[in-house]
Amino acid sequence: MIITLNSELLAVRSTMKFAVIQFPGSNCDQDCLAAVNGLEGLQAEYVWHKETSLDDFDAIVLPGGFAYGDYLRCGSIARFSPIMQAVISDARAGKLVLGTCNGFQILCEAGLLPGALVRNRSLRFVCEMVTTRVEVDDSPFTRGCPKGTLLRLPVAHGEGCFFAEGEALRELNDNRQVILRYADNRGRIVPEANPNGSIENIAGICNRERNVFGLMPHPDRASDARLGSADGAKIFRSMMQTIRAQRRVTTASEPVKQVA
Amino acid sequence: MKAKIIVMPKAAVLDPQGNAVRDAMRHLGMPEVRSVRIGKYMEIDVDGKNGDLEARLHRLCRDLLSNPVIEDYELQKAGSGTQEEKKTKRKSH
- Taking the C-alpha atoms of residue A231 and residue A242, their distance in angstroms, rounded to an integer, is 17
Question: Are A217 and A153 contacting, i.e. CB atoms less than 8 angstroms apart?
Answer: yes
Residue A155 CA, chain-centre distance (Å), reads 14
User: Are β-strands A96-100 and A212-215 bridged in parallel, bridged antiparallel, or unpaired?
Assistant: parallel
Contact A116 B20 (CB under 8 A): no
**DSSP characters for A76-128?**
TTGGGSTHHHHHHHHHHTT-EEEEETHHHHHHHHTTSSSSEEE--TTSS-EEE
Pick the CATH number of B2-90 from 3.30.1280.10, 3.30.420.40, 3.40.50.300, 3.40.50.10740: 3.30.1280.10
**Which residues of chain A neighbour B65 with C-beta distances below 8 Å?**
72
Contact B20 A123 (CB under 8 A): yes
H/E run at residue A156: strand A150-157
CA closest to B93 among chain A residues: A165
**Which residues of chain A neighbour B9 with C-beta distances below 8 Å?**
118
- The more confident residue out of A141 and A259 is A141
**Which residues of chain B neighbour A120 with C-beta distances below 8 Å?**
16
> What tens digit of pLDDT does each residue of A202-220 get?
999 999 999 999 999 999 9
Q: Tally C-beta pairs within 8 A across A and B.
A: 39
**Least confident range of A9-23, A129-143, A231-245, B47-61:** A9-23
- Taking the C-alpha atoms of residue A204 and residue A181, their distance in angstroms, rounded to an integer, is 7
> What tens digit of pLDDT does each residue of A140-171 get?
999 999 999 999 999 999 999 999 999 999 99
Distance from the Cα of B77 to chain A's closest Cα (Å) equals 21
Contact A163 B20 (CB under 8 A): no
CATH number of A2-259: 3.40.50.880
Question: Nearest Cβ partner of B13 from A76, A122, A163?
Answer: A163
**DSSP characters for A210-256?**
S-EEEESS-GGGSSBGGGTB-THHHHHHHHHHHHHHHHHHHHHHHHH
Longest Cα–Cα distance of chain A, Å, equals 63
Question: Are A213 and A179 contacting, i.e. CB atoms less than 8 angstroms apart?
Answer: yes
Question: Nearest Cβ partner of A118 from B20, B64, B70?
Answer: B70
Assessment of whether the complete model's pTM goes beyond 0.95 = no
What is the pLDDT at residue A255?
A: 56
ipTM: 0.84
Distance from the Cα of A93 to chain B's closest Cα (Å) equals 23
> What tens digit of pLDDT does each residue of A60-99 get?
999 999 999 999 999 999 999 999 999 999 999 999 999 9
> What tens digit of pLDDT does each residue of B56-75 get?
999 999 999 999 999 999 99
Instruction: Tell me, yes or no, if B13 comes closer than 8 A to chain A by beta carbon.
Output: yes
> What tens digit of pLDDT does each residue of A163-174 get?
999 999 999 999
What is the pLDDT at residue A82?
A: 98
Smallest CA-to-CA distance from A42 within A249, A248, A208, A223 is with: A223
The full set of domain ranges for chain B reads 2-90
**A6 CB-near residues (< 8 Å, 6+ apart):** none
- Give the Å distances, CA to CA, from A228 to A26, A210, A215, A221: 23, 29, 19, 9
**Which residues of chain B neighbour A84 with C-beta distances below 8 Å?**
none
